[in-house]
Structure 1
Amino acid sequence: MFKNIQRINVRKLATFGSPESVLPKKYGGKYTVTLIPGDGIGKEITDSVKTIFAEQNVPIDWEVIEVSGLDKEHNGVTEAVQSLKRNKVGLKGLLYTPTGSSGKSLNVALRKELDIYASVVLIKNIPGVKSRLDGIDFALIRENTEGEYSGLEHQSYPGVVESLKIMTRFKTERIAKFAFDFANKNNRKLVTAIHKANIMKLGDGLFRSTVKDVGQDYPGINVNDLIVDNASMQAVAKPHQFDVLVTPNLYGSILSNIGAALIGGPGLVPGANFGREYAVFEPGCRHVGLDIKGQNTANPTAMILSASMLLRHLGLNEHADRISQATYDVIADGKVRTKDIGGSSSTTEFTDAILAKLK
């Protein structure tokens, strides 16, 4: 019934490089995939995926790399990068980013080091989860490596901080082509560029005009644009008008969280990050869940659906369909659901319910 929900064509979506460059090598009939559990609830929800994959005999061997944003020494980051370079594909929980002046985002560092420039976040109602609006179905394509998250800040004078927002035509063309290719592969008909070009006329003006220029090479897809503050209001009031949104870094982060709230919360939103050579799959909203760590109450749906996207990326469509379908069926039944979507079931109970559906 819900077979095509969140079933996007993610395999070989990288716009540049040979199509084969984004797939890992396969040894002994199995793929080796990097697994970074991450901070907060990361281990609990990745354990859910590991349990389901093991029970279903999914042909994947995990190379587990422990990395934590709480670790000031950043132990494991180099090992994680090397693992992803070897395996080409990874499943990742979220890494905590401290708010102090010396705290660096390891999530951003990994994206920059591997040039996984395109974030894909899927915002779609899931049957069985009550929300204020039905029929929501859009994708957010977010540039991952520059913009507000360029990380170029300095204090020019005590109490005066200058932050540089970097926008380049090359990277804007790259993310725009990715967005239009995504639309083509997934039968989407409209790409909307999100910007603040009315104020940041050079940087965001470059983003807006470049996306529109790229759109001329895709005659079957319409292109328009929205100022980010208006887009935020429209996302809440009339989200049905959206199909594919292409955004700079910060605006995509904001809109993905708005989208998550529309459909029931961050525990339901799958995501992925693509580059020329590498693909890393992770929940679409950046919520670490430190406050519920170890309580066995986290919703693993976003991680399971992200892992299903990973399987499709590897061409393991049958496994992906079975696992995602079982997940939707459990939610639709409504008998077993986690606290965030109105239930009282544990992460383990939710996982067991999926396994029961699969049997």
Structure 2
Amino acid sequence: MPRPRDGRTRKVTLIPGDGIGPLLTGAVERVMEAMHAPITFEKYEVKGDMHKIPDGVMESIKQNKVCIKGGLMTPVGGGVSSLNVYLRKEFDLFASLVHCFNMEGLPTRHKDVDIVVIRENTEGEYAGLEHEVVPGVVESVKVLLTKFNSECIAKYAFEYAYLNNRKRVTAVHKANIMKLADGLFLESCREMAAHYPTIDYSEIIVDNCCMQLVSKPEQFDVMVTPNLYGNLVSNVAAGIAGGTGVMPGGLFYLN
């Protein structure tokens, strides 16, 4: 990748996607054009009902290292697998970050909302490991969580908090029921918290977390979550701050 401010034009892969995706990515293109940003887009038409991401798109992402993607439709029930999940697995996009905060001119019920939700993005229920044992009985396997990925997402959360002058990291879990799986996640968070003594660390059960979010969201700072809980929590937090369409987010990989 070209280094910042070296004057070279950067190529960025652009996937408009489905639904409102083209509207959002179209706005990005207009903003970049108005700024005279040194960016050229390699645009590809990918739809959520495709059976795979075309090879040319995958090569473009690998080459450019940066991809702006609108949402791809995820089939409900039977049909093709989610291409959003496919991209996360293929590029090991282990961390999803959504920043939810009050925006000037956008009235909301709650004030002083400034929450960062950091979600593990490759394991848990979203692994999509399920099968029909016998007719009418389906087994879904929750691969949650490996020690390696738990440590990775915990370290990412504490490093983000440290580098961005955040004061508190809250781990969201259901270890009161899933004592081994979510217990492993909490163990990794606790171990990582010991390396960041200047950052307050707390834990909260996911159902209580959702109640606290809608009643007193200003109490939360950085939240670190397993995959499924993070999807729920980040959408609740975004709704509190004005909606998913105005909250910035991104996916990040290890290398």
**Structure 1 and Structure 2 fold alike (TM over 0.5):** yes
Report the equivalent of 2:118.
Answer: 141
Report the equivalent of 1:173.
Answer: 151
Report the equivalent of 1:237.
Answer: 215
Contact 1:172 1:210 in 2 (8 A): yes
Q: 1:43 aligns to what SS in structure 2?
A: helix
Q: Residues 148-173 of structure 1, C-alpha deviation per residue, up to 9 Å, x if partnerless?
A: 11111011111111111111110000
Q: Is 2:116 aligned against 1:161?
A: no
Q: Flag the 1:144–1:100 CA change in 2: closer, same or farther, 3 A.
A: same
Q: CA RMSD in A?
A: 1.4
How far residue 80 of structure 1 moved from its aligned partner, in angstroms, is 2.4
Contact 1:97 1:106 in 2 (8 A): yes
Q: Is 2:92 aligned against 1:115?
A: yes
Q: Is 2:62 aligned against 1:85?
A: yes
Among 155, 158, 182, the residue aligned to 1:204: 182
The 2-side partners of 1:83 and 1:75 are apart by 11
Contact 2:53 2:83 in 1 (8 A): no
The 1-side partners of 2:97 and 2:200 are apart by 19
The 1-side partners of 2:160 and 2:254 are apart by 15
The 2-side partners of 1:218 and 1:101 are apart by 45
Q: Flag the 1:214–1:43 CA change in 2: closer, same or farther, 3 A.
A: same
Report the equivalent of 1:129.
Answer: 106
Report the equivalent of 2:18.
Answer: 39
Q: Write the letter of the residue equivalent to 1:99.
A: V
How far residue 28 of structure 1 moved from its aligned partner, in angstroms, is 7.0
Greater share of helix: 1
How far residue 198 of structure 1 moved from its aligned partner, in angstroms, is 0.5
Q: Residues 47-69 of structure 1, C-alpha deviation per residue, up to 9 Å, x if partnerless?
A: 11111211221000111122110
How far residue 103 of structure 1 moved from its aligned partner, in angstroms, is 2.8
Q: Is 2:250 aligned against 1:272?
A: yes
Contact 2:213 2:236 in 1 (8 A): yes
Aligned residue pairs: how many? 252
The 2-side partners of 1:51 and 1:238 are apart by 37
How far residue 85 of structure 1 moved from its aligned partner, in angstroms, is 0.9
Greater share of strand: 2
Q: Write the letter of the residue equivalent to 2:66.
A: V
Contact 1:81 1:113 in 2 (8 A): no
Q: Write the letter of the residue equivalent to 2:93.
A: I
Q: Is 2:29 aligned against 1:50?
A: yes
Q: 2:223 aligns to what SS in structure 1?
A: strand
Gaps in structure 2 of 5+ consecutive residues = none
Report the equivalent of 1:30.
Answer: 9
Q: Is 2:203 aligned against 1:225?
A: yes
How far residue 36 of structure 1 moved from its aligned partner, in angstroms, is 0.9
How far residue 222 of structure 1 moved from its aligned partner, in angstroms, is 1.3
The 1-side partners of 2:53 and 2:191 are apart by 43
The 2-side partners of 1:31 and 1:169 are apart by 36
Q: 1:150 aligns to what SS in structure 2?
A: strand
Contact 1:67 1:74 in 2 (8 A): no
Contact 1:196 1:227 in 2 (8 A): yes
Q: Residues 232-271 of structure 1, C-alpha deviation per residue, up to 9 Å, x if partnerless?
A: 0001111111110000111111011111211111111110
Report the equivalent of 1:189.
Answer: 167
The 2-side partners of 1:207 and 1:169 are apart by 7
